Structure formats: structure tokens, C-alpha cells
Amino acid sequence: MKKTSILLLIALFSTTLAIAQCNSFYVIDEGSEWTFENFNPKGKTTGKNEQKVTAFNKTATGYKATVNSAIYNDKGKKVTEGELELICDNGTFIMDMRKFIPEEQQKAFSSYEMKIESENLELPSKLSVGQTLKNGSVTLSAVGSPVPMKITVNITDRKVEAKESITTPAGTFECYKISSKSNTQMQMGINMSVNFSGTEWIAEKVGMVKSESYDKNGKLAGYTLLINRK
């Protein structure tokens, strides 16, 4: 009887801990911080992105968090700043698709009321090599613009390719390598369509450690490294 009670307590503790953490890759709390540095294909710094959780609320099935995201150029000057929303629900980490809309385009829409429609990009708590992941999309439209202004980003073909050890200035991490394809369609007087592909390396309890983007010909366009995590 005593052994059974102990096992039940262990199970209850494990369940409570899982709910508190929600997702094994993004274990965060208010005040959590990440700093990423961006590089061109030749390894030259092009800027950095500082992110900090400014509000964190636990829910019955996970959490909701607000993240302040500040982007700096290669001279250290702040270029733009905004907020992103992170949600974890029943072990699934849900990413704010707005981060996939280039900052320059968001600025162009700032004079108008903006309408955002999105299909969430998700990361489950458990990954395995060969696993396929849910696609995501976001559409940003300018309401009241004299000419049609709309941007749509689609993230598709997400797949867990491998497990690899990645070293950055923040340390060495065992990561899952996730590949994807991206298409951006812009309607701002003229219509344009741009295709990219990308790879992310995700580590447990840390999140994204490294990412690379490639142009339509598969040539490296730039990469990002995690340089600090608090």
C-alpha cells in the first residue's frame, strides 16, 4: 500500500511538472531572455535580436507569454521593436506567425489599420527523426489603403531531418534539425513572390539554437546563432 502511494505521488508530481513546463523545448518564465546574432553568408555580423518575456501567465493547460523583441543593426543601433505572443497548450508550443513578416514590410503597413489572419505554426513537445510537422501561414492586409497592400507568408514541408550537436557562443547543445520551405507573396502596387528554404536547430529547454536560410537556388543567404540565454 505504501509503495502504491509513493508511485502515485511520483506520477502526480511528474504530471504537474509536465503541465508547468508544457513543452520540453520552450521552458520559459517571466524574465526569460534570448539574444540572437545574425550573419551574412560570409560570416559577417548583420545585427542582433534581443527577446525578453515581459508577461507570463499560467493556464490550465500551459501558458501564455508576451515577448518584447528588439532588433539592432550591425552598428548596434535599434532598428525596430515590437511584441510577440507565445502560447503553449497541452504540450504544443504555438509560434506567433507575425515574426515571419519582414520588419520593413510591417513598417510600410503602419500608416493603416492592419488585419492579420494566421494558421498557427506549432512545435510538439516530443520530436523524432523523420517526423513531419504542421504547416503555418500568415496574411497581413492594410485596411483603407488606396492601393491593395497585402503580404502572405506560407511555411510548408516541415520535417525533422536529424539529431545533431551544435556549438554557438551560448554553449554546445544536442538539437533536432528541422527543415522547411517558405513562400512570401507581396501585393503592394505590384505583385511579387519570393521562395526560400530554411533549417532550424532546436534544443530541449533552450528553444532555437541556430537557423539558416537559403535562396531559391539552395545557396546560403544568412544564418542566426543563439549567443545568450537567461
CATH number at residue 77: 2.40.360.20
pLDDT tens, 84-108?
Answer: 889 999 999 998 787 777 666 666 6
Q: Please, which pLDDT band fits residue 120 given cuts at 50, 70 and 90?
A: confident
Domain with 151, as residue range(s), is 2-229
Burial code of 81-99, b = ≥16 C-beta within 10 A, e = fewer? eeeeebbbbebbbbbbbbb
79 vs 3, higher pLDDT? 79
User: In the beta sheet, which residues pair with residue 173?
Assistant: 166
Distance of CA 31 to the CA centre of its chain: 18
pTM for the complete prediction?
0.82
Tell me 91's DSSP state. Answer: T
**163-174 pLDDT tens trace:** 999 999 999 999
pLDDT of residue 23: 94
Number of domains forming the structure of the chain: 1
Q: Which residue do the cell numbers 519582414 mark?
A: 102
Q: First vs last Cα of the chain: how many Å apart?
A: 43
CB 123 within 8 A of CB 93: yes
Tally of CB atoms within 10 A around 61: 13
Per-residue pLDDT tens over the stretch 33-55: 999 999 999 999 999 999 999 99
Average pLDDT, the chain: 86
